[in-house]
Amino acid sequence: MNYQGVIEVSELTECIRQLGQQSGQLVILDCRYDLADSNAGENAFLAAHIPGARYASLHRDLSAPCSLYGGRHPFPSASQFAEFARANGISKDTQVVVYDSQRFAFAARAWWLLRHFGHQRVAILNGGFGAWLEAGLETTEGSASTPNRGNFSPSPSHDELRHYEEIYQHLDNLPWQLVDARDHKRFQGLEEPIDPIAGHIPGAINKPWQAISDDDGFLRPLVELREHWQSIPADDEIVCYCGSGVTACVNLFSLSLIGRKARLYPGSWSDWCAHILHPRTESA
């Protein structure tokens, strides 16, 4: 059994039945989070979660500590992410399933990081925690038990990333199509509730991440995803960004499902703002 990309609730229950969660063959990560309250996701996990799941915090586990540059959720180092994966029992052959309750917003970040660091056996639960509840399946409360350590060995693909310096140097003739995953009002600069500057990177187009799923958090059919992305020629290279490199991963997830390669600007708009407000000498 090798689930990649997306997994349905019925498939996950069968996966749990066949593999169990004590042998290290299956690891389920609960990625629920609230940007307005960094403790809300973990509190929700403690109240109820899929049996056997372990909590993955966006700011603690799926991001590095903040600094001047790198955005609001800096990209974790290989060593930091490897320690998180090992501590949660992930090894080379582990099937990982990630979920949230926010239409893939945070589960996609975990999915993308695992794949970036060389772990291909990872899938996002379609419909998230809401689909599990809707199916009437059991939940459990409290902290997860400590698993046996995994032997996860990171093998990062650095070519999947594009950083500020590369993008800035090519602004006059971008070799990639920049895709902004934020909602339309933020892209247009009509409002900016989080970052210090409103607007978007010159040359970017807007593909809001919420368009990938329906209102109940289920992935749209592949035919619709292909139609969603067909405005960008198939031979154009795509670089995705958002506010801080999180919801851009939802767009990357959808592109992967339809067989299109794309890269991530991990610092995204919050990093771009930092460079505007605090320009380095060489980019001033």
The residues that are catalytic are 242
Pair 126, 229: CB distance under 8 Å: no
Candidates 226, 23, 11; CA nearest to 99 is 11
- Mention every residue, 6+ apart, whose C-beta is less than 8 A from residue 196: 273, 277
Going edge to edge, which strands form the sheet with 205-206?
A: 205-206, 177-180, 238-241, 263-264
Amino acid code (one letter) for 257: L
- Pair of tokens at residue 37: 């309250």
- Mention every residue, 6+ apart, whose C-beta is less than 8 A from residue 80: 64
Amino acid code (one letter) for 239: V
- Mention every residue, 6+ apart, whose C-beta is less than 8 A from residue 147: 22, 24, 27, 54, 87, 88, 89
Amino acid code (one letter) for 3: Y
In whole angstroms, give the CA distance from residue 210 to residue 214: 8
Counting Cα atoms < 13 Å in the Cβ hemisphere of 127 gives 12
